[in-house]
Structure 1
Amino acid sequence: MKVKIAKSAGFCVGVKRAVEMVLRIADEHRDRKIFTYGPLIHNPQTIEMLAEKGIKVLDSSSVGSEGDIAVIRSHGVAPEVKEELRKRGYEIFDATCPKVAFVHKLAKKFSDDGYAIIIIGDANHSEVIGIKGEVSGDVAVVNSPEQVENLPEWEKVAVVVQTTMDRQTFESVVGAIQKKYKNVVVKNTLCSETAYRQDEIAELAAESDAFVVIGGRNSANTGRLYRLASKTGLPTFWVETADELKQSDFAGIERVAVVAGASTPHWIIDKVVEKLENMNRKFLPPWRWRWLKYFAYIVLRSNFWASLAAGFLSTAIAFKLSIGSPILRGLSVLCILFGTLNLYEYREWQGLALMDPSKVQFVRKTRKILFPLSLIAFAVALIISFSLENSLWILALAFIFIIICYWKFSFLERIFPAFVKDSAIFGLWIILIWAYGSDWNIHLLIPLSMFGALRALTMGLKELETDRILQRKSIISWLGEKTSVFLGLIPLVVSVTALIILKISIKFIGIILGSVLMWIFTILVGFRVVRKGSYVEFLADLIVIISAI
């Protein structure tokens, strides 16, 4: 089955900000109880993920102990709610979506200026209740032209709209208001992201046989997407997770459009898409076989694949240069990277928890095995490095000491910005392969550095959505997709040029081939042609292995 994913699918800006904020608060205040006032966002799976981290939904009657934190959800609340929480002993952190907060300011301003406020929206929606709380005078909530007819005769009226309402409802209700009142100020506070999601449905309907709408049952914007998709006349299915999809519902359907609410996390969308793609297939390609997928899952999740690729490249270089013990050199690189990546990712739990909960689950299930294995890998690397009878053992010991300190002391994770940590991992990858594989051959430093830069660029683009959600200050998030892909030409050209100038381009043709393939793959990842994280990880390091061969 062919699946078309809406470009707008996934977290909106307000949801990203709210989730990032509460995760950051949880990390910075690990010794305090953290609550959200109502569900942070309207997605049960995300709320469940937060609950696993000890972030609970606040009970309306509970009283906070000293030091307890209450996070205001993305929908916002009325001012008196914040005041009540403070009286109950909570420290307040406000995760209200900036666009919703702007509506609050407008409603308060016009109300203070003597205007009656008309809110176009759902009267029972959290956002609307919060906006009403800002109004000191007359206020009404309507969501149809018929309801406008029953409003009082006010002298002057100001109109705002719930950010997630659909444009058609907004325009029809505004038309009725302008007919009824002469002195009207209309403020279109519809969220542009929400409007774009709704507009996409019409475009997708022209090239699809059915719709799948993903999102929480309590999500108002997901409900509107479902109703708009249903109006196209195509079969439309609303699901929260992939488990709700039924094979029988899609009999005879060849093209499915997938849209998702603003609170739907990326990992749920990926699982729904994967299940849809496997439907109505008479033959599954090898990469869909269950046993093979499980094997790949273990190899990728444990970071063994990335470590193996680096070790393989180091061994190949040592063979090319006729350096002694090439296999042992590659094994040392594999062991050091294996331990380093596992301990590093354990400390960088925020991004994993948000964008790839299955990775966190894997670490939890295998922690008693994976961590001792990482320490054993470090010990093996040190023993081999000593046996090579050169200064490599000093390098290995230094790297191992640094990563164990980083893993052990949580405050180090908060001290260094993302681009510093990413650069350190990038540097480790290059130095290990260069030192062990070439025995510090200065001629190979530039080509290997440029090849490593292309790999780091690809991985950075894979993590770009996580960086934006968590507001991590990575180099890729600062540059953006297009600029990063374009700048990828620089290491490609430098790598090829260096090998040609040094007259070793034929001997190390694999590095040239690998650099070209990696840059092409970077383009595919940057423009979301290849979007699933596990595929990116596998293929990027497969290119490293191909270059070694």
Structure 2
Amino acid sequence: MKIIIAKTAGFCMGVRRAVEMALDSPGKHRGPIFTHGPLIHNPQVLDLLDEKGVHIIRDIPEAGEGTVLIRAHGVPPAIKKDLKKAGFTVIDATCPRVIKVQAIIKKHARQGYASIIIGDRDHPEVVGLMGFTAGKGYIAGSIEELDALPDFDRAILVAQTTLNTRLFEAVKNWARTRHPHYKCFDTICDSTAQRQAEVQKMAEVVNALIVVGGKNSGNTQRLAEIAGQSGVATFHIETESDLDVEALSAAETIGITAGASTPNWIINRVVRAVERLPYKNSAGIQKIVFSIQQALLLTNVFVAAGAGCLSYACAVLMGIGNFHPHVWISMLYVLSMHTLNNLTGLKADRYNDPEREAFYREHNRFLICLALSSGAAGLLIAYFQGITTFIVLLMMSILGLSYNIILIPKTIIGKYSRIRDISGSKTILIAVAWGVVTSILPAISAGNAFGLKTALVFFWATGLAFARTAFFDILDMQGDRIVGKETIPILLGEKKSIRMLKTILGIWVVLIISSSLTGTVPALGLGLSLCPAAMLALISMHENGFMLPGIRLEFLVESHFFLAGLVTLFYASALQP
């Protein structure tokens, strides 16, 4: 089964802005926090905001307190005025694209123009736009309704920002033919037009098309309409539990798109559920392989083995012969720390990876024992490698265990009472820990001087681990933001973060090759340049929509550490007589 995900699926700019403003409000503005009507048309997001203490008010009381966010669709000016009069602080989360339409209507209403709004009469955006027409507003949802309107000496035509592009093309043709003096403004959002165009193209190459989004979301409904009109089997769902498993199992190619108010975590859940469809009722080798992949990833055994491979590569690069103990130390330390990190990160996994959350809740005791025993075993091996190695690993383990613990009361230091409260600390500390355990500890045990070679190997290993961790942070941005994590991608933004990773990996491809050519590290460095190059290619493929989030992508990301081990094994074998 082939799965194609629309590049335009998920939050548009306006919805993302509104949701982020709502999530940030409890810590920024005086409470209680409300939204006037549903912030966006997605029940899962609204439930989430309610859990976060952001509630919906529909009627404006005579007197109130707290903060009210204006929904992404906008409201009539009178609503804002009444909210302020009642005593609320008003924060405008209206989509900037909608504000632009409001401004067009307001300007022309002052000049005496009638405003004809093409859209759904009861849609909150249209209701809000009508408030700017100065009593000279008209709504039409079809050409027939346009024909029924009186003729105006001066009028403007605007579209609801999520309108069907085909309908507005027909409206523009109608205006040119019937009322050429009317001013026509194409106010359909670029995001809407792109989504609809992509759905039309996708419908030509898939057997079934899944549209993910709220049942009452206008833009999602239009995506489903366009897909249905193309003749392809179309399924409009809100969550993965709505999937028609029997109907979809027979499809060879499935397309997945989503409305502008559908969060990434819902899309990812649907993708993972569809990814499992071919194996649901089968008992063949593919299902066995898939189940093994899933188990290795959920238990962190795969990433731990990858750390062992990286340690092996680092040892050979530094000319260290006794690498076996450090391969085990790296594996056991990473298994312990990553398992503990997942155990304390279940809130984010509820959105980022619900399967992992369910697995960790079900096997909580076993995983705690696994994390503690593997950490203890790693320390035991480190002890026999020398007291310095043991102390460094012990300090790293204590640091990892204390990451989520309140070290200084908030009453004394404020926000930064835990290490995790330091913005971006998770990504950097994980990468540095990988670098130390895979390269510095072997160098300490071997008594190597901390020269240029050791530094290069350390930064190479740290760079690979940083790229891995930061890339997963990019995939988990929405879930991390919901639970208040400030990872590097959240601080920089997705595009800047991807650009940063591609730059780092590109630099390391050049550095490791040049270091080999100059003799700073062995010729093995030429082969190991494949590791950052492979990661760079994987990130680029994901960026361009060729690699879907899910088990396959996660497995491939972790596999580039195995590539380091495999290349090193071939190199070592070639050197043997």
* TM-score of the pair, normalised by structure 2: 0.78
Would the aligned equivalents of 1:339 and 1:373 in 2 still touch at CA under 8 Å? no
Would the aligned equivalents of 2:14 and 2:72 in 1 still touch at CA under 8 Å? yes
Deviations 1:17-43 (A, max 9, x none): 2222222334x3699544333332222
Would the aligned equivalents of 1:313 and 1:544 in 2 still touch at CA under 8 Å? yes
The answer to whether the aligner puts 1:14 opposite 2:14 as a matched pair is yes
Would the aligned equivalents of 1:49 and 1:353 in 2 still touch at CA under 8 Å? no
CA apart distance, 1:13: 1.6
Unaligned runs of 5+ residues in structure 1 are none
- Superposed, 1:43-442 pairs within 5 Å as 43-58=42-57, 60=59, 66=65, 68-177=66-175, 181=179, 183-250=181-248, 253-276=251-274, 279=277, 286=285, 288-289=287-288, 293=291, 297=294, 300-301=297-298, 303=300, 305-314=302-311, 317=314, 326-327=324-325, 330-331=328-329, 334-335=332-333, 338-339=336-337, 342-343=340-341, 346=344, 355-358=352-355, 388-392=385-389, 395-396=392-393, 399=396, 406-409=403-406, 411-412=415-416, 416-418=422-424, 422-439=427-444, 442=451
Go from structure 1 to structure 2 and tell me whether the alpha carbon gap of 1:486 and 1:329 turns closer, same or farther (over 3 Å shift): closer
What is the total number of aligned residue pairs between the two structures?
542
CA apart distance, 1:62: 7.2
Q: What amino acid does structure 2 have at the position aligned with 1:432? A: V
Deviations 1:272-316 (A, max 9, x none): 3454455577856656449x63x7556535655434432453367
Would the aligned equivalents of 2:121 and 2:139 in 1 still touch at CA under 8 Å? yes
Aligned partners of 2:209 and 2:5: how far apart in 1? 10
CA apart distance, 1:437: 2.7
Deviations 1:445-465 (A, max 9, x none): 313423442453355345435
Aligned partners of 1:510 and 1:405: how far apart in 2? 38
Aligned match of 2:38: 39
Q: What amino acid does structure 2 have at the position aligned with 1:435? A: I
* TM-score of the pair, normalised by structure 1: 0.82
Go from structure 1 to structure 2 and tell me whether the alpha carbon gap of 1:379 and 1:248 turns closer, same or farther (over 3 Å shift): closer
Moved more, 465-474 or 123-132: 465-474
Moved more, 170-179 or 393-402: 393-402
Aligned match of 2:496: 478
Aligned match of 2:457: 447
Aligned partners of 2:64 and 2:335: how far apart in 1? 44
CA apart distance, 1:191: 0.6
CA apart distance, 1:119: 1.1
Moved more, 459-468 or 204-213: 459-468
Aligned partners of 1:507 and 1:528: how far apart in 2? 33
Go from structure 1 to structure 2 and tell me whether the alpha carbon gap of 1:273 and 1:394 turns closer, same or farther (over 3 Å shift): closer
Aligned partners of 1:32 and 1:517: how far apart in 2? 49
Go from structure 1 to structure 2 and tell me whether the alpha carbon gap of 1:517 and 1:228 turns closer, same or farther (over 3 Å shift): closer
Deviations 1:58-82 (A, max 9, x none): 354679975x443332212223323
Go from structure 1 to structure 2 and tell me whether the alpha carbon gap of 1:264 and 1:234 turns closer, same or farther (over 3 Å shift): same
Aligned partners of 1:2 and 1:239: how far apart in 2? 19
Unaligned runs of 5+ residues in structure 2 are 482-488, 567-577
CA apart distance, 1:430: 1.5
CA apart distance, 1:158: 2.2
Would the aligned equivalents of 1:392 and 1:436 in 2 still touch at CA under 8 Å? yes
Moved more, 366-375 or 426-435: 366-375
Moved more, 81-90 or 336-345: 336-345
Moved more, 458-467 or 125-134: 458-467
Aligned match of 1:531: 548
Go from structure 1 to structure 2 and tell me whether the alpha carbon gap of 1:18 and 1:204 turns closer, same or farther (over 3 Å shift): same
Go from structure 1 to structure 2 and tell me whether the alpha carbon gap of 1:404 and 1:208 turns closer, same or farther (over 3 Å shift): closer
Aligned match of 1:489: 506
Would the aligned equivalents of 1:467 and 1:477 in 2 still touch at CA under 8 Å? no
Go from structure 1 to structure 2 and tell me whether the alpha carbon gap of 1:479 and 1:249 turns closer, same or farther (over 3 Å shift): closer
Go from structure 1 to structure 2 and tell me whether the alpha carbon gap of 1:324 and 1:30 turns closer, same or farther (over 3 Å shift): farther
Moved more, 125-134 or 54-63: 54-63
Q: What amino acid does structure 2 have at the position aligned with 1:196? A: Q
Would the aligned equivalents of 1:99 and 1:163 in 2 still touch at CA under 8 Å? yes
Moved more, 183-192 or 388-397: 388-397
The answer to whether the aligner puts 1:542 opposite 2:559 as a matched pair is yes
Aligned partners of 1:310 and 1:30: how far apart in 2? 44
Aligned partners of 1:414 and 1:444: how far apart in 2? 29
Go from structure 1 to structure 2 and tell me whether the alpha carbon gap of 1:270 and 1:159 turns closer, same or farther (over 3 Å shift): same
Would the aligned equivalents of 1:467 and 1:473 in 2 still touch at CA under 8 Å? no
Go from structure 1 to structure 2 and tell me whether the alpha carbon gap of 1:94 and 1:317 turns closer, same or farther (over 3 Å shift): same
CA apart distance, 1:240: 2.1
